[in-house]
């Protein structure tokens, strides 16, 4: 099996080393990831600047560091590393959750989206660490992936779909198992804060407080809050079919 790994935390992030370790048993692995962190870039693509590559090794695996975004990295990797195509695109392991509406912001999920658009089986993997400074427990993610690769890769996926996996950042014995669930709701309140620099000039810092509704059973937010790994199939066809039917009937 030919595997391309990317992420949005950067080519030197510990999560990408963890994913390389987990994936090496599946086949030949190559890494193409951003030179530095590109979190929250979503499915953006670089089209007005040149992309440049630096070659590295990660745990003995060939790696490219690209001065671009995860989407760029997937496309560069498919062009330069796997010109005859690959069998699997893995994006992660992200240092933080990608739950609910996070999938629209996440560069890690964006990398999996691009693999999916290229017709390749794709999986995004994230560690759900909610407190800065808390351990990410990448070892838990690695162990869970190694134990469940066969199930993940055998998932009956349709065209233009990929998997979004979120692993609670807890010790492996504390995991309760895994669930196939739908997207929940994870939103940001008061996301823009106005501040002044030392010269009195205003600027705005975007972030906000995260609000998660963990009460809705059967969602990724709910599953992770209960200590389960959440696995959510995501479709690139964003058409609201029910609404479309109603509009057409008019």
SS3 state at 248: helix
Question: Which CATH number goes with the domain that contains 171?
Answer: 3.40.1210.10
What does the pLDDT read at residue 105?
A: 93
Q: Token pair for residue 162? A: 């990929």
Residue 188 pLDDT exceeds 70: no
* In-domain check, residue 88: yes
* In-domain check, residue 107: yes
What does the pLDDT read at residue 213?
A: 66
State the average pLDDT for the chain. 94
What does the pLDDT read at residue 207?
A: 73
Q: H or E stretch including 49?
A: none
* In-domain check, residue 208: no
Q: 185, 101 in Cβ contact below 8 A?
A: yes
- pLDDT: is 207 or 172 the higher one? 172
Domain around 83:
2-185+216-249
Residue 236 pLDDT exceeds 70: yes
* In-domain check, residue 220: yes
What does the pLDDT read at residue 146?
A: 98
Q: How many beta carbons lie within 10 A of that of residue 80, not counting itself? A: 13
Residue 210 pLDDT exceeds 90: no
* In-domain check, residue 197: no
Residue 110 pLDDT exceeds 90: yes
* In-domain check, residue 174: yes
Residue 3 pLDDT exceeds 80: yes
* In-domain check, residue 37: yes
Q: 171, 141 in Cβ contact below 8 A?
A: no
- pLDDT: is 134 or 218 the higher one? 218
208 pLDDT band (50/70/90 cuts)?
low
Choose among 115, 172, 173: nearest CA to 142.
172
Q: How many domains does the chain have?
A: 1
* In-domain check, residue 81: yes
């Amino acid at each position: 099996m030919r595997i391309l790994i990317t992420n949005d935390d950067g080519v030197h992030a510990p999560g990408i080393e963890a994913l390389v370790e987990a994936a090496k048993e599946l086949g030949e692995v190559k890494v193409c990831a951003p030179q530095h962190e590109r979190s929250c870039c979503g499915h953006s693509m670089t089209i007005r600047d040149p992309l440049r590559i630096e070659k590295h090794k990660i745990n003995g695996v060939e790696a490219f560091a690209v001065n671009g975004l995860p989407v760029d990295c997937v496309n560069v990797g498919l062009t330069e590393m796997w010109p005859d195509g690959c069998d699997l695109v893995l994006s992660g392991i992200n240092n933080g959750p990608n739950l609910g509406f996070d999938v629209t912001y996440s560069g890690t999920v964006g990398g999996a989206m691009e693999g999916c658009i290229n017709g390749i089986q794709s999986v995004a993997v994230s560690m759900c660490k909610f407190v800065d400074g808390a351990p990410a427990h990448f070892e838990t993610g690695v162990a869970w992936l190694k134990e469940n690769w066969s199930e993940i890769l055998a998932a009956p996926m349709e065209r233009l779909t990929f998997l979004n996996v979120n692993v609670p950042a807890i010790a492996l014995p504390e995991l309760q198992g895994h669930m196939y669930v739908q997207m929940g709701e994870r939103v940001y309140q008061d996301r823009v804060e106005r501040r002044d620099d030392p010269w009195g000039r205003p600027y705005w810092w975007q972030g906000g407080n995260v609000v998660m509704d963990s009460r809705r059973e059967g969602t990724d937010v709910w599953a992770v809050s209960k200590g389960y790994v959440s696995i959510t199939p995501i479709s690139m066809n964003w058409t609201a079919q029910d609404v479309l039917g109603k509009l057409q009937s008019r």
